[in-house]
Structure 1
């Protein structure tokens, strides 16, 4: 069985994987499975009030989970040079544990071939959060992932060609009328 198939089997069964995202090392699970999301929260020692980021492989996949958003989002996605996470005002079909308290959701359309293959094999978005204990530095290589995290995950999907960006994605928030707020540079 390929590593991608094993990773998707783990995710579909409610497990959590450790994998290199399109920016840094991350934890991933099925964002529609509340028990898997809770497991990620426990692993990261993360406050339940914080929302998560999802990765999708395409705009059509994004549109399945974000029912409406301003037209400017298409331009932002198409012209982004660096990984860009957009927080949309509403979402559907996801665990309430991944959304903000206001129902918003942060989603990034990944351009990374490795992440795209994982998502396409899974055929659904993947929850993506940095593989660190909340408040600790982001792991830019597998060696910097805390041992407590490694012991609690269900599978590691490695990419020998991974090159960390040293920083997580940029984050912007889109209002219902198209207003843009910079959240993280």
Structure 2
């Protein structure tokens, strides 16, 4: 049973929202991603097929989405050219990093950004087959994920008035 459809869970979330004086509650993520201002994990109550449901949402900036896709593509290219390259998420803690490989990876990333190989646009992906309620994966063209951005998104999403920007964007990393 998906507890995100349970009326008691829904009422509990509504009460928590009311207590916090907003239309959502933030979910604390273990990895601290939300600290960057480019990402937020939150839950809110909305309608689905005429019934109330809990939406479990992750929202990121378009820039964050773009840099993730650029990084993935750069790693794919590294793996093709250097089969012994170990992807970031497969590395063991405290594993020695090959400085030359890292420099090559950075060059590939710069090249991908300069050539605008990866382009992204705003999206909302709805995941109905989710472990808790309905999952939402959201990417918006905003500088930062703020309380105002989340509140406005939920209001428009629940009212059915959400309009996504179809423009394709490409970003460049800020120089260190």
- When the two structures are superposed, what TM-score results if normalisation uses the length of structure 2? 0.25
- When the two structures are superposed, what TM-score results if normalisation uses the length of structure 1? 0.24
Larger Rg: 2
Higher RCO (CA-CA < 8 Å; seq separation 6+) = 1
Q: Quick check: which one's helix share is greater?
A: 2
